[in-house]
Structure 1
Amino acid sequence: MYKILHTDTEFLTAALVGSRVYVVSSLDNNTVEIIDYGGPVERYTPESVKINGSYFFRNQFEFRVDVKKDSAGM
């Protein structure tokens, strides 16, 4: 199970707790391609997110964190 990060608050929370964020791109047929297997959020702006030294545009990719089924957190 995963959560998609959308808001600045969600990116801030992920950065503060050191969540491993991975980057995916949606393809046709409801499939996704993993672009980067992730790491902690190093920096974010309204336009981009920096993970593992690389910048990704927020409007082009999904940013996901794994969550436990019983977790009430992120």
Structure 2
Amino acid sequence: MSKSRAIYSDTQLFAASLFQLKVTVWERTADDIPVRVDDGGIIEKITPLYVKINGAYYERSDCEFRVDTSDVKS
């Protein structure tokens, strides 16, 4: 099983975009259970409120963005 790391800050999102890392999108249900809503793709656009991945906009305050740590070089 691969491990992933959440990215939140503008800098982390920009770096993931710059290095074209595959980013998955997660949301939490009302029961606080994480559910993957997008299997992943390259970040196309970052705004203060939204992140665009695979042509869809995801609200930053409602979603968690994750990168596979095996894609990240130390």
Question: TM bucket by the smaller chain?
Answer: 0.7 to 0.9
Alignment TM-score, normalising by the size of structure 1: 0.86
The structural deviation recorded for 1:32 is 1.3
The structural deviation recorded for 1:52 is 0.2
Determine the structure 2 residue equivalent to 1:17: 19
RMSD of the alignment, in Å? 1.6
Query: What is the rounded CA distance, in whole Å, between the counterparts of 2:41 and 2:21 in structure 1?
Result: 7
- Match for 2:64: what amino acid? E
- Structure 1 unaligned residues grouped into runs of 5+: none
Spell out structure 1 runs of 4+ moving beyond 2 A. Answer: none
The structural deviation recorded for 1:31 is 2.8
SS in 2 for 1:12: helix
| Identity level (%) | 36
Alignment TM-score, normalising by the size of structure 2: 0.86
Alignment of 1:33-72 (within 5 A): 33-68=35-70, 71-72=73-74
The structural deviation recorded for 1:60 is 0.3
Q: Number of aligned pairs?
A: 70
